[in-house]
């Protein structure tokens, strides 16, 4: 009996069918492609066919997973926002009842670590967090993050460990400073290393401490 011939491997540089190269999870491939393109060209500068091409699928396939581009950007926003919340709040949960100085440092390190480790996700959230196409669920998640920050701040203000100004102002100051630092690093003006992150944390602590 003859052994069945083994199909030859494609030669170097052979254009293998995109379907064979596509990740098993098509939905994840769509989200990854959308993340890249929404960061590169913005929401309005990105089309569904461009996302499909980047993901290596037919444009119609996207509509099997999402109703359209707006549903896609909102799904992506919520997934990335939840990932950032999990990273930061998980760190804070490890230091319950700690003084403001310890909590602030931990929060800053977790947020900066997320921005450094997941630069596309952080850039996407920065670009889209006030966009008109975010739906009620996405906006509610943004509000939830702000409220969690305010809930953390209130008892520390009561102990005079943080400045007695509106909690949302403190949240805005800290997030604005973090975003500015990350943007400067993305533009090549800073290196987002441990020394830079620590120096920025010390400066921001001076802004908010009581």
Residues 125 and 204 in one domain: yes
Tokens of 82: 């939840």
Q: Structural domain of residue 105, as residue ranges? A: 70-208
Q: Would you give per-residue pLDDT tens digits along the chain (210 residues)?
A: 444 344 333 333 333 333 334 445 999 999 999 999 999 999 999 999 999 999 999 999 999 999 999 999 999 999 999 998 888 877 676 677 789 999 999 999 999 999 999 999 999 998 887 788 899 999 888 888 888 888 889 999 999 999 999 999 998 899 999 999 999 999 999 999 999 999 999 999 999 999
Residues 22 and 95 in one domain: no
Query: What's the structural domain count of the chain?
Result: 2
pLDDT value at residue 94: 66
Cα angle 20, 22, 23 (rounded to 5 degrees) comes to 120
Query: Which 3 state secondary structure label does DSSP give 162?
Result: strand
In a domain, 91, yes or no: yes
Place of tokens 């604005």: 176
CATH code of the domain covering residue 58: 1.10.10.60
Residues 56 and 24 in one domain: yes
Residues 59 and 37 in one domain: yes
Residues 113 and 157 in one domain: yes
In a domain, 106, yes or no: yes
Measured between alpha carbons, how far is 108 from 149 in angstroms, rounded to an integer? 12
Residues 101 and 183 in one domain: yes
pLDDT value at residue 21: 40
Q: Would you say how long the chain is, in residues?
A: 210
Residues 55 and 84 in one domain: no
């Amino acid at each position: 009996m003859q052994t069945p011939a083994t199909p030859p491997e494609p030669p170097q540089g052979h254009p293998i069918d995109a379907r064979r190269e596509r990740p098993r999870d098509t939905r994840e491939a769509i989200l990854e492609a959308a993340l890249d393109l929404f960061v590169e060209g913005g929401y309005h500068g990105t089309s569904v066919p461009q996302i499909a091409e980047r993901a290596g699928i037919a444009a119609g396939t996207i509509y099997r997973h999402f109703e359209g581009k707006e549903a896609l950007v909102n799904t992506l926003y919520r997934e990335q926002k939840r990932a950032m919340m999990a990273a930061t709040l998980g760190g804070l949960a490890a230091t319950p009842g700690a003084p403001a100085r310890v909590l602030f440092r931990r929060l800053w390190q977790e947020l900066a670590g997320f921005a450094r480790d997941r630069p596309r996700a952080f850039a996407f959230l920065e670009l889209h967090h006030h966009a008109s196409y975010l739906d009620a669920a996405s906006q509610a998640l943004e509000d939830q993050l702000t409220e969690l920050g305010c809930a953390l701040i209130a008892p520390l203000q009561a102990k005079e460990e943080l400045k007695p100004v509106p909690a949302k102002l403190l949240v805005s100051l800290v997030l604005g400073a973090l975003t500015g630092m990350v943007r400067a690093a993305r533009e090549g003006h800073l290196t987002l290393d441990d020394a830079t992150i620590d120096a920025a944390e010390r400066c921001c602590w001076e802004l908010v401490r009581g």
